[in-house]
Structure formats: structure tokens, C-alpha cells
Structure 1
Amino acid sequence: MQKTTIARLLPAALLALASGSASAAGFQLLEQNASGLGNAYAGSAAVGENASTIYFNPAGMTLLQDREFSAGLSMVRPSFKFKDKGSSTGILTGKASDAGGWAALPNAYLSWALDKDLYVGVGIGAPFGLVTKYNRGWLGSAHSIEFDIKTININPSIAWRVNDTVSLGFGLNWQRMEAEYLRRAGTVNAPGMPLASTFAKLKADDDSWGWNVGALFTLTDATRLGISYRSKIKHKLDGDLTGKGPIAPFNAAISSDAKATVELPDTWIISAVHKLDSRWELLGDVSWTGWSSIDKVDIKRTSGPMAGAIAQTLDTDFRDTWRVALGANYQLNDAWKLKFGIAWDQTPVRNAEKRLTSLPDNDRIWLSFGGQWKPSRASTLDLGVAYLHVDDTKINNGDAADPQKGLVRGEYDSSVWILGAQYSQAF
């Protein structure tokens, strides 16, 4: 199922760079710039301080200089440490390694003023991503060993300054999604069916389209309000399931082509920025994400004698979520600005029974700090760091009597560190 056209080689190269580990709730990646990291992304749809506004609110391009380029990199390090509390997983009894690891999230943006009121731009980033990776011998390996979701999003945009108060923006989004899922075929071994000794792997991908809009209101010289919306994007993933174990006929029996449909959620953001005085600036953000678009994911076979059958269902039953962020900036001198932020981020996972080993997610609190250095009017360097405190995370997923999966019961001790840098240049 490999294609070698140039149109697919470029996204594949970008995806190789953008290996994402979920930092926001669910598997959303807020790190579409590093300049907002120090504020925990408070004010994201209203700040418009560099070309990365193309992602958060394209209308913010009307705040920029005639031509601007911005590029950044965030390094994300989640930690998911599992402690068993009564799991029942057949002959699988091993301890779990930390399922988190370092991931790199690059971004790049370019904006261009066609005239004083009309701007165009393009952005490249990775808005969704997830990597959880356990050791192969852990007791929950029939649920998951490795789960890897990557996206790359290319976002051409346009902005129009209607008047001194109102600006509007619109963008299209071409998005590629790749998914890889590895687990044991089951928790037991039987003659001719060595479930616990056989590994099942799904690899699938898709390209799809979405859109985004935004509006920016300059209420006074000191206050701006931003509103933005990003659409759902439905991915119809096509790929293959492969079995690898000690008995070749059994491997062949569980192998086939496969497909799965995932509708990534839409998002609303309302942001405000208010300059208190010559030194202090306040930022606020309320966002809503429609995670209920992912109720469950059926992995269906599309070839072989079992074509049309469901190989596995990921029963997510996600709920819609809210995120609230507050931030402040302090202008230390002409060259340096200090940034502070705090946020509460709600998980789409409803309870321990619906929590997956591949996504041991829970509510989190962001604590962020950053600094911005402007050596000249045309260039800016942003540095930021954030620590995400994740609530103790209970899991009670599966059925002790199910020989294919078993029951995983326990608790995760989780946290996330994010380090980021962004360079912006006007020219």
C-alpha cells in the first residue's frame, strides 16, 4: 500500500520530524508555537505577536508587519508510570515501563501583506499527536504496547482588516494522519492459537481537508478580543493488520487489509488581551473542544475470509471538554519581556472504565514561564517552559474473562514537561 509520489514524500518527511506526544488533554497538541508557551497559551486568539497567529486566529495577521516569518520547536516529555492494583491478564504478568518519552514538535509560518488591509499566509504544524510505548512484556500488552498517532497540517490563510476595530480571517487545512498500533493478540496460549505469543500490528493513514475562521476586535488601544473556530476533520484511515508469532498459519489468519474512521474534533477559542500600563499585560483564554466526535473507533477488516468483520473496537466514549488559561506579561526593559501562565485543561476521558492504556489521560494544570528577547524591531526570540501536573489517573478497563484482552486495573502517576523556542523575523 505504499505510494512513491512526491506529493506523499514531502508529508512523510515532515511527519518524521513531528513525532508528537499529547500535552493538552486528549491527544491535542497546543504547541503550534513556542511563543505562547510562557503564558500557557492564554490569549492565543488575540495576541497576534508573530506569524503563528495563522493557526490560532488568522485575523491576527493584520497586527503584523508587512512580511513576517516565524519558526519554532517544542520538546515534550510526558511520563506515564503504571502501578498494578488487581489486574487480571492471563499469563501476562510483567511490570510496565514508563510509557512516555521525549518528542519533537516543529512549526513554521509565513505572513505577507498584499496591501495595508489584506494579508495572506501559510502555516505548518502538528495539531494532534500521541505516543505511548510500553515494554513488550508488561501485563497490559494485550491492550497496547505502542500507540502512535502523527498529523501534519498545512494551513493557507487570508486576513482582511475591515476597519480600525474589526479584522476577519479564514483558512483551509490539508491534514495528513498516520496511525500505528501494536499489541499482543491476547492473554492466553492454546493449541494452534498462541494469542499471548503473537503480536498484532495496525498501520494506516489518510489525507483530508478542514477549515478555520477567526475574528479580531480592537476594542480600545489597550484591549483586544479574539474569537476563532477550527472545523472537524474526518479521516478514513486505510492500511493493514499483520500478525507476527510462532505459528505462520495463525499469523496469516489474523492478517488482512484494514480501515478505521476517526473524526478529529472541532475547537472554539475566545481570547482577550488587556494592557494595564507600560509594564503589565493580562491575557485570558477559554476554549472548547468537541471530543465527543470520537465515540468509538472500529478497526474493520477489508480483505480475506473475514472481510467486513470488526477486528477490534477502541471504545473511547469521549466527552466535550473545556480549557481555561490566564497569563501575564511584564516588560522588563526595551529588549526583554517576561511571561507567566496558568491553565486548567479538562480530559475527554469519562472514567476509569473508559480509560485506555494507549491514552492514560486525565485533567491537568499548566504552570508556565517564559522570556522574550527583541534584539531589534524586526527580530524576536521566545523561550518557554511548562510543567503539567496531571491528577492521579485510575484505570479499570477490560474484562477479566476476555482471553483477547483481560482486565487492566491500576493507577498512573503522570506529568508532562515542555520546553520551547520560537524565532520570528520581519523582512
Structure 2
Amino acid sequence: MKKTILRRAALAAAISTTSSGAMAAGFYLNETSISGLGRAFAAENTVGDNAAILARNPAGSALFDTITLSGGVIYVNPEIDAEGDVTYFAAPDTPIATLSDQKATDYAPTAWVPNAYLAVPFNENWSFGLAMYSNYGLETDFDSDWPVTTIADKTELLTVNIAPSVAYDFNDQFSIGFAVNFLYADATLKTMVPTNFGLNPTVAGADILSYDDADDWEVSWTIGALWNITDRTRFGISYHAELDPELEGDVNSDLVPLPLSPFNDAKGKVTLDLPDTLELGLYHRFNENWGLALGALWTDWDDFERLEAFIPAGGEGFNPLLFKEENFQSGWRYSIAGEYYPCEEVTLRIGYAYDEGAARDGFNTGDAAANAYGLPITWRTLSIPDTDRNWVTIGGTYKFNNQLSIDGGLAYLWGDDETIQEFTTVPAPTYFDGGTTNIEAWLAGVSLNYAF
């Protein structure tokens, strides 16, 4: 059995993928717990109603008096559509043909996002934790006859984060925690000639450039703290350091001649600048029946400027080889949620969040090829159709007894339509002038929690 098959089989139960354009800024994932889903992930690093807090704050294991397990899965059903005009050029100011109102519908596949957590108190002060989840993911996949697969065909990022942690509790009032993050990332980037490419049928369906089986392990860290201000009010803060996995994979191209060499399983390396994050949370229980959660999450996307590969076999002209300019910007996610406790066994939740997109508005004026043709191109791209999003969520927990409980959550999110303009010269100068016409998603999840 090949190494790739073994690797994917071993991680299949843990690894997750979802569409960045529908889920969160850039391709950051919030979907770390099902109780959090019902709260729109407000104060997810603070509430601590189950061991899933360990994904957001390693100090969370200090909240538990007994060994506690939590595990669940979230089903994500995104709907991303785009539409626009596609123009082919022979030379600047010399269009050959225009295909009007070209539509790509539902080009972000559905996904399952699993998670699992373990909190282990050691004594009155020390506790340990183990978290396994995904906090970055992306998949967009266009039909093979989409006229601009030369610009955007398949983009995929799969990740799993394994985070052992330790926490120290100071007199049940203040606790700190530290975690080590072991991140596995696997990526695919692909552009191809449309299968119905009429300008040159001899190259229809050919790979322009594919970057496959690119993967790496990266190590980083998280630090967090919890402050029990009163017996009803808790504040949490946590910081996740950035990750920079160097994804090594195989570069291939079917087309000759190209502005590229005819690569055949040439080795390449792409450094992926994944952002650091800072999360603030406040949870207050007013009385026996009502609670409030407030959250703010800052994601530092400024370092994610471009996707480029270093391909030693390509010589100077391909080191680096630019895939895509991105020029992301940092932003905030704000969330608020209410909880209602009608009885000891039941908790009901409702939440709202506003998530700022990482893709910049405006135009990339530094693209030499587009400038030569006098064509404006946006920072926002088809492969990562990012936008600001609104979330509305509901959820609940039912306790069977003091040991076993079940969580459920449901969310709907939507974003504004955005203008997208992109250009490529391979295999023929091609310009897309349009944008997204729909960005929305439904999320549903369930989890079980057990305290020994």
C-alpha cells in the first residue's frame, strides 16, 4: 500500500474539510464543539460546560473535578454560487469571444467536522487535557467544463490539530494553561483546461498545473487563562501562536509549451502562513434560569499574502512560482448568546455572530499580466470567495444523569455577494468578470459528554 494511502487512512477519522468561503474568515474554522455551535461560539474559551473548551483555552481542564470526555461531529452543508462573463483575448484590446452569464453552482462540497477531547484532573491544582480537532479547512471544486478552470478548479486544505495541555488552578479563582499544537496539514491546488475548451480542443481537459499530496507536520503553542470573577461570572483569554507548515508535494503539468517547464512529479514546497489568534470571552449567569455569553476573536491574517511554490527542478524561473496573490487582512469575530435552564436536566441556547472576512475589498493593481491587458482584478478570488458573514444559531443539552449528556446544535449563516474579477494567460488570455451570487450554509451537530 502506498504511503499516501496509509497516511490518509490513519487520519481519516480525525481530519476534516470545509469551505472557507462559507465558514469563517479566510479558512479558519470555528467548529470545535456542538454546545458552542448553539451559542454561535460566543465565549467558547470561557464557558466550559464540557471538555471541548480545550480547543480554545488550555486552562479549561481546571474546571473539571473528574475525568471528562467529549466527542462529536458537525455536518456542514455550504451553498456557494458564482456567475459572470468570461472573455478570451488574442492580444490586449483584442477579444476573441465572450461567454456571457456563466454560472458555477454549489461549488463548495459538504463536509463532516469531527472533534474529541479529554480533561484529566490530577490533584487540586494540576490538570491535563488532550484535544483533537480542526481549526483550518478549505475546499472548492468546480465542474470540469467551467470556462475558467484555468483560474480556479480545485483548492483543498485538510488539517487536524492534536493538542496535549496542562493547567494550574490557583484557589479555584484563577487558572492558567499551556498547550502544544501538533498540526497535520494536507493540501491540493489544481488548474486545468476546461473539457469543452473550444479555442484549442487538443488541450481540452489537460492539467495546467497541479500540486498534489502536499503535506507537513508543524508544531506551535497555545496559552490561556480563566478568571472566576465571582461564582456567577467568568472571564477567559487565550492566544494561539501562528503556524507555518511547509507543504511538500508533487508538481505536474500536461501542457507543452508553457510558461512553465513540463513538470512530471517534480518536488515542490509551499509555505502556508496560518494566523495567530486572540480570543476573549465573558460568561455570566444571572440566576438559576438565565446565562449570557459574549465573545470576540481576533485573527491575524496579515501575513498571508500569497500562495507560491519553490520547485528546485524548475531553476531560477520557478523559485518561487506564484499560484495566487491573496493579501489577506486581519479581522474580528463578535458573538453573543443566551442560555436558558428550565430544569436541571436541560439547557437551551440561542446565539448570533458577525464574522469579518479576511479577503480585501478593492483591486490588485500590481499584477503585470492583467495590467498589460488593461483589466482590473480583485483581491477576492473564486477559489477563496471570502466575505463578511452573519450567524444565527440554536442548540441545547440534555443530561441523562450526572455522568452522561448529549449536545445538539443548528446554525445558519450567510454573506453578502461580492465582485470577483480574475485573469490568466494560460493556455489563452482569459478574464472572468462577475462575482458570487450566493454564500450561505447550514450546520448541524451532535456530541456526547461523559464524566467518570
Q: TM-score, normalised by structure 2?
A: 0.86
Identity of aligned residues (%): 29
- 1:96–1:286: structure 2 CA closer, same or farther, 3 Å change rule? same
Q: Which runs of 5+ in 1 are unaligned?
A: none
- Of residues 150, 153, 166, the one that matches 1:145 is 153
Does 2:305 correspond to 1:276? no
RMSD: 2.6
Say whether the 8 Å CA contact 1:184–1:200 is kept in structure 2. yes
Q: Give the letter for the 2:326 counterpart.
A: T
**d(CA) in 1 for partners of 2:88 and 2:298?**
37
Q: 1:349-388 maps to which residues of 2 (within 5 A)? A: 349-351=359-361, 353-388=378-413
How far does the alpha carbon of each residue in 1:157-186 deviate from its partner, in whole angstroms, 9 at most, with x for none? 011102232100100000011101121269
- 1:376–1:20: structure 2 CA closer, same or farther, 3 Å change rule? same
Cα distance, 1:146 vs structure 2: 1.1
Aligned with 1:98: secondary structure? coil
- Of residues 158, 163, 173, the one that matches 2:171 is 163
Cα distance, 1:216 vs structure 2: 0.1
- Of residues 125, 131, 148, the one that matches 2:133 is 125
| Partner in structure 1 of residue 75 of structure 2 | 75
How far does the alpha carbon of each residue in 1:195-231 deviate from its partner, in whole angstroms, 9 at most, with x for none? 8744431111111101001000000011000000000
How far does the alpha carbon of each residue in 1:290-336 deviate from its partner, in whole angstroms, 9 at most, with x for none? 01120112123222567744433310000001010000000122211
Does 2:190 correspond to 1:182? yes
- 1:331–1:257: structure 2 CA closer, same or farther, 3 Å change rule? same
- Of residues 17, 20, 25, the one that matches 2:18 is 20
| Partner in structure 2 of residue 45 of structure 1 | 45
- Of residues 191, 216, 219, the one that matches 2:226 is 216
**d(CA) in 2 for partners of 1:156 and 1:293?**
27
- 1:190–1:345: structure 2 CA closer, same or farther, 3 Å change rule? same
Does 2:203 correspond to 1:200? no
Q: Give the letter for the 1:377 counterpart.
A: N
Q: Give the letter for the 2:273 counterpart.
A: E
Q: TM-score, normalised by structure 1?
A: 0.91
Aligned with 2:422: secondary structure? strand
- 1:5–1:363: structure 2 CA closer, same or farther, 3 Å change rule? closer
Say whether the 8 Å CA contact 1:97–1:135 is kept in structure 2. no
Say whether the 8 Å CA contact 1:95–1:139 is kept in structure 2. no
Say whether the 8 Å CA contact 1:48–1:63 is kept in structure 2. yes
**d(CA) in 2 for partners of 1:405 and 1:182?**
18
Cα distance, 1:244 vs structure 2: 3.9
Q: Which runs of 5+ in 2 are unaligned?
A: 90-96, 363-377
**d(CA) in 2 for partners of 1:30 and 1:249?**
40
- Of residues 297, 300, 305, the one that matches 1:290 is 300
Q: Give the letter for the 1:149 counterpart.
A: L
| Partner in structure 1 of residue 370 of structure 2 | none
Say whether the 8 Å CA contact 2:18–2:109 is kept in structure 1. no
Number of residue pairs the alignment of both structures matches = 420
- 1:92–1:31: structure 2 CA closer, same or farther, 3 Å change rule? farther
Does 2:326 correspond to 1:316? yes
Q: Give the letter for the 2:54 counterpart.
A: I
- 1:57–1:10: structure 2 CA closer, same or farther, 3 Å change rule? farther
Say whether the 8 Å CA contact 1:89–1:140 is kept in structure 2. no
Q: 1:243-282 maps to which residues of 2 (within 5 A)? A: 243-244=253-254, 253-255=262-264, 256-282=266-292
Aligned with 2:27: secondary structure? coil
- 1:131–1:218: structure 2 CA closer, same or farther, 3 Å change rule? same
Q: Give the letter for the 2:221 counterpart.
A: W
| Partner in structure 1 of residue 446 of structure 2 | 421
How far does the alpha carbon of each residue in 1:227-263 deviate from its partner, in whole angstroms, 9 at most, with x for none? 0000001111111111246x79999814322111111
Q: Give the letter for the 2:241 counterpart.
A: S
Say whether the 8 Å CA contact 1:295–1:318 is kept in structure 2. yes
Aligned with 1:392: secondary structure? coil
Say whether the 8 Å CA contact 2:150–2:427 is kept in structure 1. no
| Partner in structure 1 of residue 414 of structure 2 | 389
Aligned with 1:131: secondary structure? strand
Does 2:62 correspond to 1:62? yes
**d(CA) in 1 for partners of 2:412 and 2:73?**
17
Does 2:119 correspond to 1:111? yes
**d(CA) in 1 for partners of 2:314 and 2:385?**
33
- 1:141–1:199: structure 2 CA closer, same or farther, 3 Å change rule? same
Greater mean alpha carbon deviation, residues 43-52 or residues 307-316: 307-316
- 1:53–1:133: structure 2 CA closer, same or farther, 3 Å change rule? same
**d(CA) in 2 for partners of 1:151 and 1:374?**
32
**d(CA) in 1 for partners of 2:428 and 2:182?**
37
Q: Give the letter for the 2:277 counterpart.
A: T
| Partner in structure 1 of residue 352 of structure 2 | 342
